[in-house]
Structure formats: C-alpha cells, structure tokens
A and B are shown apart, each in its own frame.
Chain A
Amino acid sequence: MEYTGAEIVCESLLKEGVEVIFGLPGGAVLPFYGALSGYPQLRHILVRHEQAAAMAADGYARATGKVGVCTATSGPGATNLVTGIAGAMMDSIPMVAITGQVPRPAIGRDAFQETDITGITLPITKHNMLVMDVDDIAPAIKEAFYIAQSGRPGPVLLDIPKDVLAGDRRPFVWPESIDLQGYEPPGEADEIQLNQAVELINQAERPVIMAGHGILISHAYAELRELAEKAQIPVITTLLGISSFPTDHFLHTGMPGMHGMAYASLAIDKADLLISLGMRFDDRVTGRLSDFAPNAKVVHVDVDPSEFHKNVKATVPVLGNLKQVLKQMLPLVDRKTHVEWLQYIDTLRAEHPSLYIRQTDELLPQFVMKQLSDITEGNSIIVTGVGQHQMWAAQHYAYKEPNSLLTSGGLGAMGFEVPAALGAKVGRPDKTVWSIAGDGGFQMTLCDLATAVENNIDVKFAILNNGTLGMVHQWQEFFYDKDFFATVYSGNPDFVKLAEAYGITGIRVTDKAQVDAAIRQAMETPGPVVVDFIVKQDEQVYPMIPAGESVNEIMEEPIPERIF
C-alpha cells in the first residue's frame, strides 16, 4: 500500500496515538484535510479562529497530559496559531502544530499566503522543522512528538509545503527509533546533588516547599504529599502548581507572590530553606529579587538546567525528572515535625486572612468563585485566562483533584479560557469543565462558542462581568492616578442574548441570591451554557505586592470587622 505525504501524516499521527486534532483548513493545508476525511479515527474539531485551535490543543494537553495537536494553513492561518503556541512554550505544554506551507517552488517568492512560520515561531517553540521531503515526514512527526512530551515539555511546529503533502505515493515507513544527538531528557538525579539536597532538608528548621507545574507535569502528586507529610513541611503552590497538593490539607499554605496569600509570601520571607520543585521563580512569585527569601537556602529541583540560577541562585541545584528525584529523596528524608514553624505559619494565617470575603449585599466576584467551589465541591476543572478573574479563581476555588486549574500563566493571554476549556472537555468528557472569563477575555475568543455548539462540547462558561479590563483598571487605580483610560467597556453585548443567538442557554445573575441557583441550573442543563455574572465594578484583587517590590510592601484588603 502506498500513501501520499498527507496520508503519511495521518498514519504517523495514528502511530502516536492521536485522537483529536483542532484546526481550520485553507489552501496550503488542503491536501492534509483531503486525507483527514478518510481517517475517522482522527477526530477533527473545526474551530472558528486558528488561535482557538492552538489554545484548545493546549487545554486538551493540560487536561490529559497527552500531546495536543492543532493544524492550520499557511500565512494567516499559521500566524493566528502564534499566541497559542507562545502560551504553550511559556507553560511547558506538549503540543504539535502542523501548518501547511506554500509549495516548495513558491517558497521565498512572497507567494499568496506565504509566511516564514518556522522563522516566526523560532523563539516560541521548543523546536520546529520545515519538512522539505515526503520521506522526512514520518521521522519528523516521530521526533516532534518525542521532543514535545519529553524532558521539559513544549510546543513543536512542523511546516509542510503543499506539494510535499500532495506528492507521489510511496510506502509508509514508521521509524523504529529516532536519533537526536545531544538531546537527552534527564532522569534520576545525580547522587552528589541529591545527598546535598537531602542534607539541607534534614537540617532545616523553617523549610517551605514551593511546588510548581513540574509536579503536575511529572505526575508527582503522591510523592509531593509523602515528602510534605514525612518531614511536616508546609507546601506553597505557584499559580501553575495549584492543585498539585490538596487545598484542604493542613500543610497547604496557599499561593505566593503578587496576588498570593500574604501568609504564603511571609512564610517564604522567614523560611530558612526553599525546596523548589519544578518551578522557575517567575517575577510574579519573587517580586524584587534582592528581597526575596532573604534568609533561605534554596534546593532547586528541575528537569531544565537552564532554570538553575536564572532568577534565584540555587544553593543546591538538582537536575532530574521530578517524580524520579522525589522517589530517590523520600527514603533519605528524616521524619520530622516542625511544630514551632507550623504554629508560626498558623499565626500568620490568622493575622492575614487573605481569603476573607467581606460581607456585603453587592455581588462580589470572589463570592461567585467561592459559591462555585462549594457547589462543585472543588471537583470541576477550572479554566481561566488572565486578569482579575484568574486570580480570584486561583484564590477562592478549593481544588480537590490534581491538575484541575488550567490557566494561562506565563504568557498571560486573554481569551485562553474559552478555547482551552473546549480542549479540556474534549480530553476529559467525564469532568465538569468551567471556563471562567472576564468580559474582556470572553470577547476575544467568544466566536468559538460556535465550536462548542457544533460539537456539543459541554463547557459551562462563567463571565465575571464588571464591564472593565479589570486588572488593568486596578493598576490604573493604584499606580496611574486613577486615570481609567481605555479600560471601560461601554459597548458590551448582551451575553444572554448572545448565548441564545448561538442556540444555547444564557443565564444572567445580578444578585447574590441568584448565584447558587444559576450555577446549579447551568450544571443541570445539558450542553454548553453561558452564565453572565454582573459583578461589582472597581473590585480589587487583594493582597497585592506591587510589581518589582517585596512582601514588605504588600497591600491587604482593609477589613472592617476582624472576625479572626
């Protein structure tokens, strides 16, 4: 049996166990679509904008741990993928993007819909390839999937010219192995590093674990929990590390940094050891580096050696796969109780009730998140974009299951929440998936409500609608003399009517008393539902450590009556 280049792509995707592809066709990629129609095992989900294809593939990858696949045509199709690919790069998401390219003889001639997409995506992919020969397709796909999901995961883009896809038929040869000289994902830790790290952990009096995305990527939840419990070490989770440790665990000490809980940031400030697991000391976590964790030594475990000493100098860097490293570490770590330290952190919690929601008749966005958390019992998958809604979702939802917050962390892309939620639901049809959006982000990608309708992807869309670009508005309030320029949306559509226009249920909530019923109605209604929560305007996210400052400059919400 002989295959065209496009069919070889399909055969290769099947070999890699791909089940679903998010995409939108166009001229240069048409031969692939021609082949795809003959492969019903490869479910194709047609999006309305290529950015949604990349973001849905991202959401699918985050929710399942498998490689997300998206496809687009050359030129504008490919460039529309860019934001989604950049997000996957920043958050270490395994993704393979396949783009059509103009035929080989046309390359370099500024042909219709020609862009140098491998050039454009060079800094935002883990790797990319322009496949110039049909015989290179199968090896390129095998390499792409291996690179995307091994070591520190990331996106890989394959650009395939139309005539390579459409070219002469030939046998399909799936390479048995690949040879990537110089690419060797780390496994177990070196013993010298490991022993040094364990020594620091066993000596520490005020240790803190900072758990990042690496715990989720390497499925090391059980090992993390065992380490924390064995040595009684409080666990702080970064934004992308949220849900790597049970929120209701007594050692769970919240999220640090700019909008983290004050007690988490203060614990880091007083700690004598940071055990940093699969995290990269983002500036939103550290604030001013010179004042970050001034009393602490740092054990930094990561699979990517370029993270060591990048932002924070590691006393002991440990290179390795996090799950394997923790397994090595566990038997060597002493069983301990840090009673005084944990008691101290408890007093910090009492003095700084960062998650307190004030009593008011107004509809507060924090209240909506808290209600959603209570009603779903912390068991939904929550998908957010960037901004105030993202921070409230990070703060007030009590995540019970590993890997249940999918959020645009590193890139901070508005609009991620809609398509990524679609991808997550496609990957995890068994779970309730809530897309949490602001009215700003929702309008960036709402065109893909049609994708949800067309494919009956049962996502519940909650809009925390404050009629503003809330987070930017908040910065203007605090740092730009309340000059609210270009952050108020006065021409928002009626989101309920909009939902109805797409043929789905829309619910409007304007009063606190309606929240509970609305959430329940949304969950009881089969198929996608939009819930438009008209929340209080000018509500700020607290606590806040201003950019480039330290925990000493933390701003906390003024609380009228102390209840603790």
Chain B
Amino acid sequence: MNGNGRHHTIIALVQDRPGVLTRVAGLFRRRGFNISSLAVGNSEQKGLSRMTFVVDGDQYTVDQATRQLDKLIEVVKVANISEEEIVSRELALIKVKVTPETRGEILEMVNPFRAEIVDVGAKSMVIEVTGSGDKIQALYGLLEPFGVLELMRTGRVAMVRGQSEARVSDDLVLDYHGDHLKVNEVYEVGSY
C-alpha cells in the first residue's frame, strides 16, 4: 500500500503492561482518526508486544499520530511501514449455513483459497482462511449467498520483508532528518 493512499500500516513494539492498549487506542481517538484494524500479540522479546495498526488518514495525520505514539513511555519503537516492502496477513473464521445440497459446492469453492474447514455441524460449517484482506473479502463475497452466520477477522499483522543477504531487524526507528519521516533500516548480517 502506498504511503499517500488511504490505508497506512503502522507497527509498534510496546511494553506488555496493563493499560497500554487503552493508552494507544485513546491516542488515536484524541487525534481524531480511525483504526480500521488492530492486532496485538507477544513478540519474540519477553515483556514486549507487537501491534499492527491499519489506519485511515492523510500523510500529515498519520505522521502526527505516529510521532505522538512514539512519545508514549510504554511504546518502545514505532514505524510507519506503508512505503516498505511488507508481508501482511489476516486470518478470518467464517461460519456459513450448509445443507446437504450446498455442502459439496462450498467445499469446492473454498479449495482455491487454500482455506480449511475447521468445524462441521449439521447445519453449519466453520471455514478458516488466511491471507490479504482482499482475499478474505473475496471468499466472504462468494459465501454470502449461502448465508454467513458469523464472521470473525483478526485484523492485519505485518512485517517488513527480509532482504536477500540480511534481514531487516526489529530496529525500525523513526528518524527526523530532513522533512519526512524515514524508516531507518538496520541490518543484522548473517542472521537470516
């Protein structure tokens, strides 16, 4: 996604303390813009969590929010990776209505998406699908006519792609040289 578009992907490494999610979410609300998805989970470092935000807004607003985010004591690192080469995934669970007649058709439909059937009931089926938001949206669109009973999405998780010889480490930091924020890439040679 390009940096001037509507969607921005921001990742943050935060201390795993009570209230940190409220702090971060409250900041976005105060600065008046929307989080379209948010995913939080443990990182590889003890005591630190990693958050991925997808936010809407123009470059100015996103830059402001990113810097304000960086000011929070519990936020260790933050980076807007919208202009980076990233890998991003989302997971969804879709519970869809089935009848003996539609079961086969649904199974066929799910296959090309490399989705999995994780639960089969008498009248419904739960499908797990991983991928980009577009892919999930596409599968959802196909299943909708059968009757979707529940949809649960995780929100996007994202990571900057590794390079051929070295890995972009976690040291994505904000840098204030010149006019624009840049992501400062620090390479750990040989750790790939």
Binding site for B on A (CB under 8 A): 118-119, 122-123, 126-127, 130, 147, 180-183, 190, 192-193, 304-306, 308-310, 313-314, 317, 319
Contact call B177/A182, Cβ cutoff below 8 A: no
Q: For A122, A130, A182, A314, which residue has the most chain B Cβ atoms within 10 angstroms? A: A182
Q: For A122, A126, A147, A306, which residue has the most chain B Cβ atoms within 10 angstroms? A: A306
Residues 63-84 of chain B: 1 if any A CB is under 8 Å from the residue's CB, otherwise 0? Answer: 1100110110111110000000
A310→B71 CA distance, assembly (Å): 14
Q: Which residues of A contact B22 (CB under 8 A)?
A: 119, 122
B6 at the interface (CB under 8 A from A): no
Knowing that A119-B22, A126-B73, A183-B73 touch, tell me 18 more A-B residue pairs with CB under 8 angstroms: A130-B18, A130-B19, A182-B13, A182-B73, A182-B74, A182-B77, A190-B176, A193-B176, A304-B71, A305-B174, A305-B176, A306-B71, A308-B176, A309-B60, A309-B179, A310-B64, A314-B179, A319-B176
Which of B18, B70, B73 is close to A306, meaning CB atoms less than 8 Å apart?
B70
Min C-beta distance of B183 to chain A, whole Å: 15
A126→B71 CA distance, assembly (Å): 9
Between A and B, how many residue pairs show CB distances below 8 Å?
Answer: 53
- What are some 16 contacts across the A-B interface (CB < 8 A)? A122-B19, A122-B22, A122-B26, A123-B30, A130-B18, A180-B73, A182-B15, A182-B76, A190-B176, A190-B177, A193-B177, A305-B174, A309-B60, A309-B64, A310-B64, A317-B176
Chain B interface residue count, Cβ-Cβ cutoff 8 angstroms = 26
For window 9-53 of chain B, which residues contact chain A by CB distance below 8 Å?
13, 15, 18-19, 22-23, 26-27, 30, 48
Q: Which residues of A contact B63 (CB under 8 A)?
A: 309
Min C-beta distance of B28 to chain A, whole Å: 12
Min C-beta distance of B138 to chain A, whole Å: 39
A151: nearest chain-B partner, CB-CB: B71
Nearest 5 interchain pairs by C-beta: A182-B76, A306-B67, A127-B73, A181-B76, A319-B176
Check A147/B68 contact, CB under 8 A, given A130-B18, A190-B177, A319-B176: no
B71: nearest chain-A partner, CB-CB: A306
Min C-beta distance of A421 to chain B, whole Å: 31
A306→B66 CA distance, assembly (Å): 9
Contact call A181/B15, Cβ cutoff below 8 A: yes
A313→B179 CA distance, assembly (Å): 9
A308→B179 CA distance, assembly (Å): 9
